[in-house]
């Protein structure tokens, strides 16, 4: 496989040269996926907390549904969002199709169930642990959720990172709703798909390595921040 060597050289060349097209693509990938994860967190964390703490009819079915939605194929989400945002679709008037906004919406839908399901699992475990104490203190559900969220804040970062990994890695949804338009909606994964379809495999794999490096840096940054805030006792 001589392509591996070629692609490592290509990746290094891309990084060293500071190719403006590559920088543009990387920045758009970050902008789309980080925004999507932030929005998905605003939906997913409260939903996960509610499912972990509150007891209501249909809760079991809802947990099952959220867990199942983690397996949503990106291309199905892409198709759904495409039909919604299409000029003749229900939200066509907003003119969002083939813009980064459409890509953010699609990735938010993909990532929210992941964050919700992982948050729920984390918080449910902690809720069981804290149950006696919180009951003794007579905590209301809101207070219970607030306490759990605060104490689980570092564990929840893992859920966000899992969501970010999914967002940065998926290609099916952003390809359909973004259209892979040069300088407008081209991100790392759609650029990789394009280079593959051109048979430019070393370039495609080289871009893949840049994407991997980016994910590594993001993860390292988050772990670094976490260690700092958690203090030396936990680090």
Partner 1 sequence: MKRLLLALFLATPAMAQDNVVLVQSTTSTQNSGLYDAILPIAEEALGLDIRVVAVGTGQALQNAERCDGDMLIVHARDAEIAFVAAGFGTERQDLMYNDFVIVGPATDPAGIADAPDAATALGAIAAAAAPFASRGDDSGTHRKELSLWDGVADVAAASGTWYRETGSGMGATLNVAAGMGAYTLTDRATWLAFENRGDLAILFQGDPELFNQYGVIPVDPEHCPNVNINGAQAFTDWLVSEAGQQAIADYTLGGEQLFFPNAN
Q: Does 222 bind partner 1 (CB under 8 A)?
A: no
Q: Which of 10, 99, 107, 147 binds partner 1 (CB under 8 A)?
A: 99
Decide: 156 and 122 in contact? Cβ < 8 Å.
yes
What is the distance, to the nearest Å, from the Cα of residue 183 to the centroid of all Cα atoms in its chain?
A: 22
Q: How many whole angstroms separate alpha carbon 124 and alpha carbon 131? A: 10
Q: Does 190 bind partner 1 (CB under 8 A)?
A: no
Q: Does 31 bind partner 1 (CB under 8 A)?
A: yes
Query: 117: burial class by Cβ within 10 Å (0-12, 13-18, 19+)?
Result: buried
Q: Does 181 bind partner 1 (CB under 8 A)?
A: yes
Q: Does 129 bind partner 1 (CB under 8 A)?
A: no
Q: Which of 95, 146, 213, 224 binds partner 1 (CB under 8 A)?
A: 95
- Closest CB 91 distance from partner 1, rounded Å: 11
Q: Does 44 bind partner 1 (CB under 8 A)?
A: no
Nearest CB to partner 1, comparing residues 88 and 140: 88
Q: Which of 69, 155, 200, 212 binds partner 1 (CB under 8 A)?
A: 200
Nearest CB to partner 1, comparing residues 70 and 174: 174
- What six digits make up the tokens of 21? 């097209």
Q: How many whole angstroms separate alpha carbon 183 and alpha carbon 193? A: 16
- What six digits make up the tokens of 95? 């003119």
* Stretch of 69-77, 99-107, 129-137, 157-165 contacting partner 1, by CB under 8 A: 99-107
Q: Does 96 bind partner 1 (CB under 8 A)?
A: yes
* Stretch of 35-43, 72-80, 133-141, 218-226 contacting partner 1, by CB under 8 A: 35-43
Handedness of CA 192, 171, 45, 72 (dihedral sign): negative
Write out the binding residues for partner 1, residues 64-93 only, by CB under 8 A.
86-89, 92
Q: How many whole angstroms separate alpha carbon 106 and alpha carbon 96? A: 11
The pair phi, psi for residue 106, each rounded to 5°, is: -60, -45
Phi-psi region of 66 (alpha: psi -120 to 50; beta: other; left: phi over 0): alpha
Rg (CA), the chain: 20
Q: Which of 198, 217, 224, 230 binds partner 1 (CB under 8 A)?
A: 198
Which uninterrupted H or E stretch holds 138?
none
Q: Which residues bind partner 1 (CB under 8 A)?
A: 31, 34-35, 38-39, 42, 86-89, 92, 94-101, 104, 179-182, 184, 194, 196-201
């Amino acid at each position: 496989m001589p392509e591996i060597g070629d692609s490592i050289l290509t990746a290094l060349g891309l990084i060293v040269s500071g190719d403006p097209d590559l920088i543009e693509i990387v920045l758009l990938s970050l902008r789309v996926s980080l925004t999507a994860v932030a929005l998905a967190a605003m939906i997913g964390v409260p939903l996960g907390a509610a499912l972990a703490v509150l007891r209501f009819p249909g809760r079991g079915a809802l947990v099952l549904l959220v867990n199942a939605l983690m397996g949503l194929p990106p291309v199905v989400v892409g198709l759904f969002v495409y039909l919604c945002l299409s000029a003749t679709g229900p939200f066509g008037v907003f003119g969002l199709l083939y813009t980064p906004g459409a890509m953010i919406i699609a990735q938010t839908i993909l990532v929210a169930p992941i964050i919700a399901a992982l948050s729920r699992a984390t918080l449910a475990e902690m809720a069981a642990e804290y149950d006696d104490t919180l009951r003794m203190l007579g905590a209301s559900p809101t207070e219970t959720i607030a306490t759990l969220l605060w104490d689980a804040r570092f564990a929840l970062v893992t859920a966000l990172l899992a969501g970010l990994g999914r967002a940065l890695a998926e290609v099916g949804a952003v390809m359909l709703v973004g259209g892979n338009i040069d300088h407008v909606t081209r991100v790392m994964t759609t650029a990789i798909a394009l280079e593959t379809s051109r048979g430019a495999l070393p370039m495609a794999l080289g871009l893949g390595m840049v994407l991997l490096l980016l994910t590594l840096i993001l993860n390292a940054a988050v772990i670094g921040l976490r260690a700092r805030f958690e203090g030396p006792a936990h680090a």
